[in-house]
Structure 1
Amino acid sequence: MSSLYVVPSLQIEGRHNLQSSSKPISTLRTEFNSPIELQQLHSLFVKTATPLSILPLSRVASVCALTPFFTYAQQIFQQLDRSEIFMWNCCLRDFAESDSPFDAILLFYQLRSHNICPDSFTCSFVLKACVQLLDLSHGRIIHGFIEKLGLQLNLVLQNVIVHLYASCGEISDAILLFDKMPQRDVVTWNTMITQLLKRGDTDSAYNFFVQMPERNVRSWTAMVSGFAQCGKPKEAIDLFTKMEEVGLKPNEVTVVAVLAACADLGALDLGSRIHEYSKKTGFYKNIQICNTLIDMYIKCGCLQAAHDVFESMKERTIVSWSTMIQGLAIYGKAEEALELFSKMIQTGMKPNGVTFISLLNACTHMGLVNEGHAFFTSMTKDYGVIPSIEHYGCMVDLLSRGGLLQEAHEFIKCMPIKPNAAIWGALLGGCKLHKNVEMAEIAMRQLQDLNILNDGYYVVLANIYSEAKQWENAAKLRKLMRNKGLKKTLGWSSVTVKGVVHEFVAGDDSHPQSEDIFKMWDKLLVHMKLRGYVPNTSVILLDMEEEEKEKFLFRHSEKLALVFGLMNTPPGETIRIFKNLRVCEDCHASLKVISEIVNREIIVRDRNRFHCFKDGSCSCRDYW
């Protein structure tokens, strides 16, 4: 030890003087936080003849690593005849996993400057730091160094390199490296699949998936999650079913992904089964799973089940509260939504931007204009939440639906954010509800200036013209749509019977039970008219004979889905229908009457909200 430089006892301002401490050396040996304190301790070891070997050498490395005392640490390692690279690797690993991963890169260069030869572990830790930082520049240098050292056959290193290139956006280089690898393991394949899915390339990811010689739960989960997140819920559920068939048990991440897919697809039976599985496995304690369950039940038309999950949670996050508030909002239960918000505030939970979108939606769905105004003001004034474009959109929608079209227009003009298509679309939707042609044309001009090629906006304006009997303008707009290559989105509705989803489009006669469906509708129609139902042919915005309009009206997709559900489910069972467009006024009136005739609850999820028909009325109170 005589070759080591030892600093005498020092009293350093703001620091503990290790030599003057009354603590035993066995305790002091771990309490140094700087090279100076280490030298103080070293001095004490010399004076007390304490062996240097009791020092925690990984700590010696970490306190000296990026300082002028680097060689001092080297001397300690050499004196004790310990593997120097092992100590620095421990330090590199800690740096790579810390909040400052760049320190690992700095230490690597310091090792090289002192001619310390790195090994495979050294390279893997530095590469992981590069991945954390998405630092491809230094990553390429390390990659080259690995080739120079002859470590290119190390599978762990090759996997990290592929991960680095793919996560830094160089997916073609990652694929090239993948193809050249002499051997691969499940980690290699999973890395490629995960990175492709992050780019939204589900087709390429699935091609890798089917080629895998061996798959683990992570492989299946990555693919299921990828499909769910990329708007392919049917594919996600189909793949999950295959995963179960091969005997693999889903983990918590899988469960979240499948529940999200069930929510998007309205697959209540599978969602409920996953709920039971979560209870049996203990996953039910996972807050994210509970939050996804709430969302799933809401979107599948089971508000009470969602509320039961919410109430059963021992701990809730802002996501839990916001999701439940949004659920109450889209079911037309604005008062309950606002009451739940008050309870949330009482618990000390601070609302975020999503919470206020839920609150504003609640006000929109029930026409609570004053309350909506108050929340919009409160979000910044009381909670420091800066309104986003979504919040402004909610306000325009609230005002427009409430018939305050001029006020909505002025609100848009005063926005500090440039209005987007959703803003003008909300105003256009309000113009349709309140049959205002002039304001609709203003909104449409703005949408055209934004070069928005959304068929829905053109269809809405064409319908506004048709309702105003401006057939020529409606025809011109439809011709413009054809010239732009725009086609009206086909309306469809689906209903699930015994776990099988049945889809219907307007006028659909392709279903095997179509003839029976039409016959049952005719029978229902007799009872409906006895209860005062009169077909609202004004929703058929085509210039045709009244009789033809009625025939067209009676073949709307939600009516066909409903009749099919009535025919194929037990009496009293709730029927849940999912529709891609807004439910029309006539279908809304029809379903109210039918719910009373058949004594059933009928739940319809359309593009904007839920309608719960029961005993001849709807939860939306005819405001939608």
Structure 2
Amino acid sequence: MAANAASVLNRLIQNAARPRKPFKPTNQSPTASILPHLDSGDLPRAIAALAASAVPFPASVYARLLQLCSSRRALVEARRIESHLVAFSPSPSTFLLNRAIETYANCGSLRDARELFDEMPKRDGGTWNAIIAACSRADQPEEALSLFSRMNRSGIRPKDVTFASVLGCCADLLALFLAKQIHGLILKLGFCLNVILGTSLVDVYGKCWVIDDARRMFDSIATPNAVSWNVIVRRYLEVGRGKDAVAMFFRMIKRGIKPLNFTVSNALMACSDISALKEGCQVHGMVLKIGFEGDNVVRNSLMETYAKCGVLEDARRLFDQSTSKDVVSWTSMVSGYAACGRISEAEALFEEMPERNVVSWNAMLVGYVRSLHWDKAMDFFHRMRGETEETNLVTLGLVLNVCAGLSDLDWGKQIHGFAYRHGLCSNLFFGNALLDMYAKCGCLRSAELWFLSMASQRDRISWNSLISGYGRHGRSEEALHAFSEMQWETCADEFTFSTILAACANIFMLEHGKEIHGYMIRNGFEMDVIIRGALVDMYSKCRLIEYGIKVFEMESSRDIVLWNSMILGCAYNGRGEYGLELFEAMRKDGIRADNVTLIGILLACISEGYVNLGRRYFDSMTEEYGIIPRVEHYECMIELLGKHGFMVELEDFVEHMPFEPTIPMWTRIFDCCREHGNRKLGERAARCINESNPLNPVQFEVLSPESSDCT
């Protein structure tokens, strides 16, 4: 046993005295074992090699590991890397911890990033930049701005990347005042020539709807890049200034800047918004020139532009030529057909769609609503609910429009209940649609209560819905009162004024109407065809026909509604001759008469005593104008013949009517027969009146010139 112990001891001494081989890090060091996995992008094996080592790695290795986790969104692995770094490095570098915060942010874990930030003993500018960017990326703009404030108080000077993140948060929150303060700080710190910050300022001003400030900021950028141009084009588009968006796009092309595909798409959307087909075709030519014709975003925008401009054949040609149609392509074509009223073609294409989303369903629903196909729209909504669970606020708003069109208050209330249960009632778009539904359905008490509940968020559209609801249901005084209250909260627009002018006309409030007319002139409101029609109607009903004629004769476009308002106004104000002259002028202008026009013409003939002319117009309604006479036209003919003593013709007219005269018609016939002496027809009228109201019978008797009444 002693010999064995001696031999072991000798062997140990010999081993200790034997020369050692040189250390080869490529075979034995932890770094060497992990580098091949990093080079090949094998994250699981790299993490396994990391876990097998109880010694720290070089900073470059940790940085590469974090970068790999960031690209793979590998949150669990990122946590293991941070744990190894903290456990085996006595004082981990701030640089690496900053990269860990960025990695957590890229992996979608703001919580991990914030915990690491709060535990860091030392922070530098990069640390603050990383956590502020993380909050911004995680849709926590308030938190990002709070951290930015803390950063400033701690004396850390922000960098350009910090400002870019913070300006993005201001844009998300529409925090215009804060954005202007940050703009001042950017100028103070000498970052005014930075194109990224300049573009961010253009973006935030545009989103806050101070588009002129956005334009001034854009013009101050010495060399705007493609992103800068994209932002200004997009912001003009969003605020409804499509002409400026298109102009800026072509200015960009003239400068030799190649646009992004999204810039081209935005320019095309602007063309479709302003129906600028010529400019849209020019953009299409440029698309072919720079090779964007294969881009899905651009191609879909082209189809939408042609469709919205009414050139559906060109849109369909692009659609049919596409080899990679997606749901957006299909939806654009369906929407185009539906928006142009070509419902059957939209339906056929909708049925062919290989897949649909909620936008596809909404596009078809919009078509039914715009075409006033209320029953089809409601049936389509029921089908939608049966085939998909996708329903958004646009869907619900459209269905409320359908309920208003059908005067279906019960369904409207059910939609209200559905939205309430799903927490959607706070949305302004839905709130306005609900208010409009209640107002149009005549449930004005519910409309008033809902309007009051919207106090913190209601806008001009909300006020317009309430005011038009009052006007629609004959409550003109309340419409005028609401208009007065509206001016404390928001500004009126042309729709508001047209509604209020109609209310003034209904209750003969001439002075109020003249005040509104004067206000619109002083403040430069556009006197479009709708406003002029409302003014003509108001002046006509308030017996100031000369003012109405002056408004009508203004140099501007005229539609059928404006012509009708003027012709009817002349008839009601004893200016039937001028009304007939207007009718002939209207025909020369190529405006096709409708049933309202013919009512105005017949009333003018009544006013002037042109019986034969009125009969000719009535007889030519169907053949010449394609209008089937309605009850109102028959009432006018009874008045025309009866008032002017054409009793034989009146009796013949009544005999050949396609329906039995109504009681109001028989009453007017009865009065005319008493006045002009047609006993046969008068007694027949008396019998019909007495059958409908036996408790208050009338007796026919021809009036003598001296008598003033007859039982």
TM-score of the superposed pair, with normalisation by structure 1: 0.58
2:389 aligned with 1:248: yes
The answer to whether residue 650 in structure 2 is matched with residue 543 in structure 1 is: yes
**Structure 1 pair 64–387 and aligned structure 2 pair: CA distance change class (3 A):** closer
Q: Which secondary structure state, in structure 2, belongs to the residue aligned with residue 167 of structure 1?
A: helix
Structure 1 position 267 matched with structure 2 position 408:
yes
More moved, 540-549 vs 437-446: 540-549
For structure 1, which runs of at least 5 residues remain unmatched after alignment?
1-20, 34-58, 66-87, 112-121, 493-505, 507-535, 557-589, 595-624
Partner of 2:140: none
**Preserved contact between residue 327 and residue 356 of structure 2 (Cα < 8 Å):** yes
Classify 1:309/1:110 alpha carbon distance in 2 versus 1 (closer, same or farther; 3 Å). closer
The CA distance in 1 between the partners of 2:542 and 2:593, in whole Å, is 24
Report the counterpart of residue 662 of structure 2 in structure 1: 553
Amino acid at match of 2:159: L
Between stretches 248-257 and 227-236, larger displacement belongs to 227-236
Match of 1:233 among 369, 374, 386: 374
Give the Cα–Cα distance (whole angstroms) in 1 for the partners of residues 301 and 515 of structure 2: 49
Where 1:209 maps in the other structure, the secondary structure is: helix
| CA distance in structure 2 between the aligned counterparts of 1:411 and 1:105, rounded to whole angstroms | 43
Q: Which deviates more from structure 2 when the two are superposed, residues 253-262 or residues 455-464?
A: 455-464
Bigger Rg over Cα: 2
> Structure 1: how far apart are the matches of 2:350 and 2:416?
27
**How many angstroms does 1:449 deviate by?**
3.5
Of 148, 172, 178, which aligns to 2:319?
A: 178
* SS at structure 2 position matched to 1:244: helix
Identity %: 23
Equivalent residue, structure 2, for 1:455: 594
* Alpha-carbon distance between aligned partners in 2 of 1:185 and 1:316, rounded to the nearest angstrom: 38
1:311 deviates by: 1.9
Q: Structure 1 440/308 Cα, relative in aligned 2: closer, same or farther at 3 Å?
A: same
The answer to whether the Cα contact below 8 Å between 2:400 and 2:415 also exists between their aligned partners in 1 is: yes
Q: More helix per residue: 1 or 2?
A: 2
Q: Pairwise mapping of residues 42-61 of structure 1 onto structure 2 (< 5 A)?
A: none
**Equivalent residue runs for 1:219-368 within 5 Å:** 219-314=360-455, 315-347=457-489, 349-368=490-509
Q: Distance in 1 between matches of 2:355 and 2:605?
A: 60
Q: Which amino acid aligns with 1:400?
A: S
Shift of 1:376: 1.5
Is 1:128 equivalent to 2:265 in the alignment?
yes
- Indicate which of 289, 299, 305 corresponds to 1:161: 299
Which position in structure 1 is the counterpart of 2:531? 391
Query: 1:136 and 1:437 mapped to 2: Cα distance?
Result: 48
Distance in 2 (CA, whole Å) between partners of 1:466 and 1:318 is 43
The match for 1:487 among 619, 624, 627 is 627
Q: Distance in 1 between matches of 2:452 and 2:542?
A: 33
Once the two structures are TM-superposed, the CA of residue 378 in structure 1 deviates from its matched residue by 2.6
Comparing 22-31 and 284-293, the one that deviates more: 22-31
Counterpart for residue 332 of structure 2: 191
Alpha-carbon distance in structure 1 between the residues aligned to 2:387 and 2:195: 48
SS in 1 for 2:628: coil
- Indicate conservation of the 8 Å contact 2:576/2:603, yes or no: no
1:346 partner SS = coil
Give the deviation of 1:474 after TM superposition: 1.8
Q: What is the CA distance between 1:543 and its match in structure 2?
A: 1.8
> What is the Cα deviation at residue 391 of structure 1?
2.5
Deviations 1:278-326 (A, max 9, x none): 2222222122222222222222232222222222212221121122122
Q: Distance in 1 between matches of 2:501 and 2:356?
A: 45
Partner of 1:446: 585
Q: Please list the CA deviations of residues 172-229 of structure 1 after superposition, one character each: whole Å capped at 9, or x if unmatched.
A: 4543343344443322211222344444443332221111122221111111012212
Question: What is the deviation of 1:386?
Answer: 4.2
Q: Deviations over 1:318-364 (max 9, x none)?
A: 121122122212322222122112212233x2222222111111111
Larger deviation, residues 292-301 vs 212-221: 292-301
Cα distance change on mapping 1:394 and 1:162 into 2, 3 Å = closer
Counterpart position of 2:541: 401
- 1:429 aligned onto 2:568: yes
Q: Where in structure 2 are the equivalents of 1:60-99 lying within 5 Å?
A: 62=196
Q: CA RMSD in A?
A: 4.6
1:115 aligned partner: none
Q: In structure 1, what residue type is equivalent to 2:566?
A: L
Tell me the TM-score normalised to structure 2 length: 0.52
Closer/same/farther in 2, CA of residues 245 and 458 from structure 1, 3 Å limit? same
Find the partner of 1:28 among 135, 155, 159: 159
Of Structure 1 and Structure 2, the greater strand share is in: 1
Flag structure 2 segments of 5+ consecutive residues without an equivalent: 1-151, 165-192, 200-224, 237-244, 272-279, 643-648, 666-688, 694-711
Asked if 1:204 is matched to 2:349, the reply is no
Tell whether the 8 Å contact from 2:226 to 2:260 is kept in structure 1 after alignment: no
Deviation at residue 242 of structure 1 after TM alignment: 1.3
| CA–CA separation in structure 2 for the residues paired with 1:61 and 1:331 | 57
**In the superposition, relative to structure 1, how do residues 92 and 406 fare at CA in structure 2: closer, same or farther (>3 Å)?**
closer
| Secondary structure of 1:242 counterpart | helix
Aligned residue type for 1:360:
L
- 8 A contact 2:593–2:625 mirrored in 1: no
C-alpha displacement at 1:231, in angstroms?
A: 3.5
- After superposition, where does 1:466-505 map in structure 2 within 5 Å? 470-488=610-628, 490=630
Report the secondary structure of 2:395's partner residue. Answer: helix
2-side partners of 1:215 and 1:326: how far apart?
36
Change beyond 3 A, Cα 1:545–1:311: farther
Secondary structure of the residue that 1:208 maps to in structure 2?
helix
Paired residues in the alignment total 434
SS in 2 for 1:473: helix
For residue 442 of structure 2, give the secondary structure of its aligned residue in structure 1: coil
In structure 2, C-alpha distance between the alignment counterparts of 1:480 and 1:221, rounded to whole Å: 43
Q: Deviations over 1:75-125 (max 9, x none)?
A: xxxxxxxxxxxxx998897687565784997699668xxxxxxxxxx9744
